[in-house]
Chain A
Amino acid sequence: MRYIEPHAHMVSRTMDDYKALAMAGCRAICEPAFWAGFDRSSVDGFYDYFRQLTEYEPKRAARFQIAHYSWICINPKEAEDPEFAREVIQIIPEFLKKENVLGVGEIGLNKNSKNEVAIFEEQVQLALDHNQLILIHTPHLEDKYKGTQLIIDMLRQHSEIDPNRVLIDHVEEHTVKQVVEAGFWAGITLYPESKCTPARAVDMLDLYGSTDRLWMNSACDWGVSDPLSLPKAVLELRKRGFDEQTIDRFVYQNPLKFLRQSGMEILPEG
């Protein structure tokens, strides 16, 4: 089996995890910029983090023949101070030029506040100005439904956005339909506690898998999460009778199709 892990926060993971991912068939990892569990107090803190994503993690991944790509942005959790967020946004274009950066992400909302909305809008504009793909984080738990609505409404107001170049992540049963029907890509995040189990993810693939605009990811970070949740979802797909060709489409070809819109040569052999 081969697969792409399209959303993993490897900065909070060990080399053992890279090894386990490689052994499970992972060919490429995409790492969005996010909140690392502790607020950064300066623009320099972000600068170092972006360098870690674009320079250091690719080297760690390469030790296990895994390709590594990243997304750059200021995450919604740290967007509550808009002046500070704008200073961080100033340094992003330098990183968007790098050959292993996929686009702007994971932007989005966390607690659905006015400041988060403002910084989200500004980063959508940044992505459009630089012709970048967009990866969007939707809020957790009770805030997800409202946040997803707000995000879709805001994106719809930009007529210049091609929904095919936007992925809205962490969908669940109450948000997947509206994302897919609005023409965006949808990401299903497999989390042991707070998001989606493999069985529920496969239910969503059962219902919406005929579209190619779906992927699954582990989002593994510093919280309770499992870097091998994608191979576990593949076991679930097999249990449910999906053939190997369809499984390959879900876990390899679909993400590849979205990511190659960045214009980069991603896994050129596959």
Chain B
Amino acid sequence: MKETKTAMMDVYFMDARSKLIDIAAFMDRAERYGETGDYRYQEFVKALDALRSSDRAESVLMKLSDPSKEPSEKASAGPAVGAYQKD
């Protein structure tokens, strides 16, 4: 299936480093513009905790998901936004 064992750090480290700095800069920016109270930002910060778990990608996605189980009475207006406002 795999031809050779690939060195993951050679392939992905620089890309991940750049995304990490992007996240840091996004948080600085949110603070500078006074938008850290927005629920999306709040949920984003909570999702960072998932980086300490195993299955990090899955856990981050779960932190940003609607946890309810029953279908809603009506479809909410507008597109999905990427974070779920928990009360």
Residues on A facing B (Cβ under 8 Å): 80, 110-117, 139-146, 149-150, 172-174, 194, 199-200, 203, 209, 239-243, 246
Contact = CB atoms under 8 A, between A and B. Distances in A.
A199 B84 CA distance: 25
B5 interface: yes
B65 A113 contact: no
Given A141-B64, A173-B57, A173-B58, A113 B75 contact: yes
B17 to A, nearest CB: 14
Interface in B24-64: 55, 57-58, 61-62, 64
Which of A112, A149, A150 has the largest count of B CB atoms less than 10 A from its CB?
A112
Contacts of B2: 240-243, 246
30 contacts: A110-B75, A111-B75, A112-B71, A112-B72, A113-B75, A114-B71, A114-B73, A114-B74, A115-B75, A116-B71, A117-B71, A140-B79, A141-B64, A141-B81, A142-B81, A143-B80, A145-B61, A146-B65, A172-B57, A173-B58, A173-B61, A174-B58, A174-B62, A194-B82, A199-B12, A209-B1, A239-B11, A241-B5, A241-B6, A243-B3
Interface of B: 1-6, 11-12, 15, 55, 57-58, 61-62, 64-69, 71-76, 79-84
A173 B68 CA distance: 19
Contacts of A111: 72, 75-76, 80
Nearest to B73: A114
A172 B62 CA distance: 11
A140 B84 CA distance: 12
Contacts of A114: 71-74
Contact of B4 (A113, A140, A241): A241
A242 B3 contact: yes
Contacts, number: 93
Nearest to A140: B80
Which of A111, A115, A203 has the largest count of B CB atoms less than 10 A from its CB?
A111
A243 B1 contact: yes
Contact of A146 (B6, B11, B69): B69
A149 B69 contact: yes
A150 B72 CA distance: 12
